[in-house]
């Protein structure tokens, strides 16, 4: 069965050196923290973790924008985290064969994996076919022709990151992506009338479903403002 999917491979950079320098126990701790981070992002954005690959993973999405949003959030989260690790990412889209309901065979899978292999630490590399689906808060930072193992011709790829903020940014309350009104996908007013910006409908949905304070805590010292 042939299907259209977007694929991303992600991998911890320098993991072998970290294992040699800090020991297996520290390596296992970091992989556990990394996997928990990836699970949280992918669960919220509706992306399937097709398989774990030791210190990396293969991500699959029916739509391209949530995959790009996931790896850009992952890139930002890793840079901002205290884990002291780097991540590499490769992304592309294409028609592939769905094998036995849970595996994917095709050129797009191979290209995404090769892009991850050549990405620099904390770099997201993507093919041009994905760029029209880049979220408004994402940006192409650079592009170049690269040679990939197994391909006869060089391939144009883009390095992706967060769009530089012009003016004051406001973080998405769920994922922390810095946004302006012009780059937000959705907006809402909280219960005290403040404008809240969201990077995606999935973050908006998570925010709207957040548990509110218990009735006996409203107006207390711990919860001074309802909805704040």
CATH number at residue 38: 3.30.70.1230
Instruction: Based on the fold, state whether residues 62 and 43 are members of the same structural domain.
Output: yes
pLDDT at res. 216: 61
Structural domain includes residue 107:
yes
- 155 contact partners, CB below 8 Å, separation of at least 6: 111, 127, 145, 146, 147, 148
Q: Do 189 and 181 form a contact (C-beta atoms < 8 A)? A: no
What range does the domain containing 79 cover?
Answer: 2-162
Structural domains counted in the chain? 2
The pTM of the full predicted model, rounded to 2 decimals, is: 0.89
Same domain? For 128 and 203 the reply is: no
CATH number of the CATH domain containing 201: 2.30.170
Q: Do 71 and 126 fall into the same domain?
A: yes
Q: Write the pLDDT tens digit of every residue in 90-121.
A: 999 999 999 887 789 999 999 999 999 999 99
For 41-86, the pLDDT digits (tens) are 999 999 999 999 988 999 999 999 999 999 999 999 998 888 778 9
Residue 201: per-residue pLDDT = 97
**pLDDT at position 215, please?**
59
Strands 178-179 and 48-52, how do they pair? unpaired
| Residue 198 domain-assigned (yes or no) | yes
């Amino acid at each position: 069965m042939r299907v259209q999917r977007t694929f991303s491979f992600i991998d911890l950079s320098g993991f072998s050196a970290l294992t040699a320098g800090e020991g297996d126990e520290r390596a296992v701790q970091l992989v556990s923290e990394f996997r928990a981070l990836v699970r949280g992002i992918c669960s919220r954005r509706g992306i399937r973790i097709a398989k774990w690959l030791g210190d990396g993973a293969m991500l699959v999405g029916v739509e391209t924008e949530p995959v790009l949003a996931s790896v850009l959030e992952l890139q930002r989260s890793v840079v901002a985290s205290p884990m002291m690790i780097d991540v590499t990412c490769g992304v592309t889209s294409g028609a592939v064969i769905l094998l036995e309901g849970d595996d994917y065979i095709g050129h797009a899978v191979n290209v995404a994996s090769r892009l991850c292999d050549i990405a620099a630490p904390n770099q997201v590399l993507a093919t041009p076919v994905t760029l029209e689906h880049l979220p408004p808060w994402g940006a192409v930072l650079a592009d170049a022709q690269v040679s990939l193992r197994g391909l006869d011709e060089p391939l144009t790829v883009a390095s992706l990151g967060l769009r530089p903020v012009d003016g004051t940014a406001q973080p998405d309350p769920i994922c922390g992506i810095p946004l302006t009104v012009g780059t937000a996908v959705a907006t809402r007013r909280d219960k005290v009338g403040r404008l809240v910006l969201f990077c995606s409908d999935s973050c908006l949905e998570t925010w709207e479903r957040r548990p509110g304070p218990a009735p006996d805590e409203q107006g207390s010292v711990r919860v001074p403002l309802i909805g704040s």
